[in-house]
C-alpha cells in the first residue's frame, strides 16, 4: 500500500516566550529565557520558586465567559493554540468525517482536580461541581476541539508524559498516511503550575533551584545545569494529505516524513544511561523517512537541563549520527520556554518547522560553559543562520517513552 504524503499547513502556539508564530520565534531567537518568579501561588515553602508562566493569554479571545468557567486551563490553552493553527491553515468546507484530532497531555486537568478536591474537603460532597469530571479528564481537550470544529474523524488523546504531544503528532501522521483522515489537528497542552505539582517535583529534586537567577536557570547541556524548569503552554499543527492540500491550494510549511517511537524499558524517571531508547526512536524515524543520518541538518533536542538526561541524549545522537553529529546543529528551546511537559513535543516541532522556514536555528540560551561530555554544536546563546532542509525533533518522557519526528523542506 502506497502511503499518503503528509504536509504541515497551519501552526498555532501559546508559550511563555510569546504567543503566535512571530512572537514565539522572536522570543526563541532573542537569546533570553522566559523563566521568572512564580506569581500564581505562595512559593515560600518550596525549594523551587521559579517557572515559565504564560502571561499573554486571554481565553476570552477564543471563548465566551461561560465556556471559560467550564474548562480547565489546559483546555483553554489547547483551544487557543488550535484555533490559531486552524485559522493559519485557512480551512473551509471540510468533510467532517475526514477530519480528526490528536492531543497529547501529560497530566490533564490537574487545576480542576485540586480545586474540586479542596471543595470536597472543606464544603462537602454536595458542593463538588457537576462540571468537575468533564473539566478534568485528560481526553476532554480533544473532545472540545472536535465539537468546536465539527471534526468527526479519528479523535485520540495520548499520554506518554513529556513525549505526549510528540506521540500525538506521530499518531496523526499515521492516520493520514494510511487514509483514515485527510486532515488532522494535532498537538498538545499542559497547565500544571500548581502547588501540588511543585511539591511532587521538588520532592524528586528534579527541578532547578536557581531561584535568585531565574532567567539563567534553564541551561541545557551546560556544566552548571541543576534541573529542569517547569512551564506551561500549547502548540497545535494542521496536518493534511498532500493531495488534499494541493486540491485546496493550501500554503505548505513543510512535509512531515518520519516518526519513530520506543521505550527505554529501564527506569520510571531516569533515561537509559547510554540513551538506548532515544537511539531506537531516532533510528526508527530515519528509517520511516527513508533518510540517511547525514541528511539531517538540525535536531531540536529534548534537552531538559538535567544532568543525566542531557548526557544520555548527547550519547544517543553520537551513536545514531556518528561523525555527522559534529556537523549538526543541536539546540534545546526549553532553555527559553522552560519544559512544557506534555505540550513540549508539539511546541518544539513548531520551532523546528520554523527553522526550515527562516533558515535559522534557534539557540540554546544560558549555555555559557558546555559540559565536557556534551561537546556538540548546541547553538550557544545566539541563533545560527544556516541551510536547514531536514529537521528532527525529540520528545522523551518519564516511563522511558520516546518519540522522534522528522520534517523536511517541502519539494513538490
The rounded percent of the chain whose pLDDT value lies above 70 is: 100
Instruction: Clarify whether residues 189 and 285 are in a common domain.
Output: no
Instruction: Clarify whether residues 140 and 272 are in a common domain.
Output: no
Question: What does the buried/exposed string (b/e) look like for 33-65 if buried means 16 or more CB atoms within 10 Å of the residue's CB?
Answer: bbbbebeeeebeebbbbbbbbbeebebeebbee
Q: Is the pLDDT of residue 1 over 80?
A: no
> What is the pTM (predicted TM-score) of this model?
0.97
Instruction: Clarify whether residues 292 and 203 are in a common domain.
Output: no
**Cβ distance 259 to 288 under 8 Å?**
yes
Identify the pLDDT of residue 93. 86
Residue 348 lies in a domain: yes
Instruction: Clarify whether residues 188 and 323 are in a common domain.
Output: no
Give per-residue pLDDT as tens, 60-96.
999 999 999 999 999 999 999 999 999 999 998 899 9
Identify the pLDDT of residue 365. 98
C-alpha cell at 177: 498516511
Instruction: Clarify whether residues 109 and 50 are in a common domain.
Output: yes
**Cβ distance 104 to 128 under 8 Å?**
no
Q: Minimal CA–CA distance to 291: which of 157, 132, 409?
A: 409
* Alpha-helix runs per DSSP H in 290-343: 307-321, 334-337
Q: Whole-angstrom Cα distance, residue 337 to residue 53?
A: 9
Q: Tell me the CATH number at 372.
A: 3.40.47.10
Instruction: Clarify whether residues 265 and 238 are in a common domain.
Output: no
When the pLDDT of each residue in the chain is averaged and rounded to a whole number, the result is: 97
Give per-residue pLDDT as tens, 92-151.
889 999 999 999 999 999 999 999 999 999 999 999 999 999 999 999 999 999 999 999
Q: Which of 267, 339, 369, 374 is catalytic?
A: 339
Give per-residue pLDDT as tens, 177-229.
999 999 999 999 999 999 999 999 999 999 999 999 999 999 999 999 999 99
Give per-residue pLDDT as tens, 301-334.
999 999 999 999 999 999 999 999 999 999 999 9
Identify the pLDDT of residue 205. 96
Mean pLDDT of 222-251: 98
Instruction: Clarify whether residues 91 and 176 are in a common domain.
Output: yes
Residue 252 lies in a domain: no
Q: Which domain holds residue 99?
A: 7-247
Mean pLDDT of 397-401: 97
Give per-residue pLDDT as tens, 133-149.
999 999 999 999 999 99
Residue 309 lies in a domain: yes
Residue 297 lies in a domain: yes
Mean pLDDT of 232-244: 98
Identify the pLDDT of residue 360. 98
In the residue annotation, 162 being an active-site residue is answered as yes
Domain boundary among 247, 281, 297: 247
Other C-beta atoms within 10 Å of 412: how many? Answer: 6
Q: Who contacts 237 (Cβ-Cβ below 8 Å, separation ≥6)?
A: 8, 10, 11, 12, 85, 169, 185, 186, 187, 346, 349, 350, 353
User: Quick one: residue 187, left, alpha or beta (phi over 0 = left, psi -120 to 50 = alpha)?
Assistant: left
pLDDT band at 2; cut points 50, 70, 90: confident
C-alpha distances (whole Å) from 335 to each of 138, 365, 398 are 27, 5, 19
Residue 375 lies in a domain: yes
Mean pLDDT of 236-264: 98
Domain boundary among 199, 225, 247: 247
Instruction: Clarify whether residues 65 and 108 are in a common domain.
Output: yes
Q: Which of 32, 70, 117, 162 is catalytic?
A: 162
Q: Which of 55, 294, 302, 324 is catalytic?
A: 302
In the residue annotation, 339 being an active-site residue is answered as yes
The rounded percent of the chain whose pLDDT value lies above 90 is: 99
| β-bridge partners, 8 | 239, 254
Mean pLDDT of 233-254: 98
Instruction: Clarify whether residues 228 and 278 are in a common domain.
Output: no
Identify the pLDDT of residue 304. 98
Count of domains observed in the chain: 2
pLDDT band at 384; cut points 50, 70, 90: very high
Residue 329 lies in a domain: yes
In the residue annotation, 267 being an active-site residue is answered as no
Instruction: Clarify whether residues 225 and 328 are in a common domain.
Output: no
Identify the pLDDT of residue 346. 98
Residue 403 lies in a domain: no
pLDDT band at 368; cut points 50, 70, 90: very high
Mean pLDDT of 224-247: 98
Amino acid at each position: 500500500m502506497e502511503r499518503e504524503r503528509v504536509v504541515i499547513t497551519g501552526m498555532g502556539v501559546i508559550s511563555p516566550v510569546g504567543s503566535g508564530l512571530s512572537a514565539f520565534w522572536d522570543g526563541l531567537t532573542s537569546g533570553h529565557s522566559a523563566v521568572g518568579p512564580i506569581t500564581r501561588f505562595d512559593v515560600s515553602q518550596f525549594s523551587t520558586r521559579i517557572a515559565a508562566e504564560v502571561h499573554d493569554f486571554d481565553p476570552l479571545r477564543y471563548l465566551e465567559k461561560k465556556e471559560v468557567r467550564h474548562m480547565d486551563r489546559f483546555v483553554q490553552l489547547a483551544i487557543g493554540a488550535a484555533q490559531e493553527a486552524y485559522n493559519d491553515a485557512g480551512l473551509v468546507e471540510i468533510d467532517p468525517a475526514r477530519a480528526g484530532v490528536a492531543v497529547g497531555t501529560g497530566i490533564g486537568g490537574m487545576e480542576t482536580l485540586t480545586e474540586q478536591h479542596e471543595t470536597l474537603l472543606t464544603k462537602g460532597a454536595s458542593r463538588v461541581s457537576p462540571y468537575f469530571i468533564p473539566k478534568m479528564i485528560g481526553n476532554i481537550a480533544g473532545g472540545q476541539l472536535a465539537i468546536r470544529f465539527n471534526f468527526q474523524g479519528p479523535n485520540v488523546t495520548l499520554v506518554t508524559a513529556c513525549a505526549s504531544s510528540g506521540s500525538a503528532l506521530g499518531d496523526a501522521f499515521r492516520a493520514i498516511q494510511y487514509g483514515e483522515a485527510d486532515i488532522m489537528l494535532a498537538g498538545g497542552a499542559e497547565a500544571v503550575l500548581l502547588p501540588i505539582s511543585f511539591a511532587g517535583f521538588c520532592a524528586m529534586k528534579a527541578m532547578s533551584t536557581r531561584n535568585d537567577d531565574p532567567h539563567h536557570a534553564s541551561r541545557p547541556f551546560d556544566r552548571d545545569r541543576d534541573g529542569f524548569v517547569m512551564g506551561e503552554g500549547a502548540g497545535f499543527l494542521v496536518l493534511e494529505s498532500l493531495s488534499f492540500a494541493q486540491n485546496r491550494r493550501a500554503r505548505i510549511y513543510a512535509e512531515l516524513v518520519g516518526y519513530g517511537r520506543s521505550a527505554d524499558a529501564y527506569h520510571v524517571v531516569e533515561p537509559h544511561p547510554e540513551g538506548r531508547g532515544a537511539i531506537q526512536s531516532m533510528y526508527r524515524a530515519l528509517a520511516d523517512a527513508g533518510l540517511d543520518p547525514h541528511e539531517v541538518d538540525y535536531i531540536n533536542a529534548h534537552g531538559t537541563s538535567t544532568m543525566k538526561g542531557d548526557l544520555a541524549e548527547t550519547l544517543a545522537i553520537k551513536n545514531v549520527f556518528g561523525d555527522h553529529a559534529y556537523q549538526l546543529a543541536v539546540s534545546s528551546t526549553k532553555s527559553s520556554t522552560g519544559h512544557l511537559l506534555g505540550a513540549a513535543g508539539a511546541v518544539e516541532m513548531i520551532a523546528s518547522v520554523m527553522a526550515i522556514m527562516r533558515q535559522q536555528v534557534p539557540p540554546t540560551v544560558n549555555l555559557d560553559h558546555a559540559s565536557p561530555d556534551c561537546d556538540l554544536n548546541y547553538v550557544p546563546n545566539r541563533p545560527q543562520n544556516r541551510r536547514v532542509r531536514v529537521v528532527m525533533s525529540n520528545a522523551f518522557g518519564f516511563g522511558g517513552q520516546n518519540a522522534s519526528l522528522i520534517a523536511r523542506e517541502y519539494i513538490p
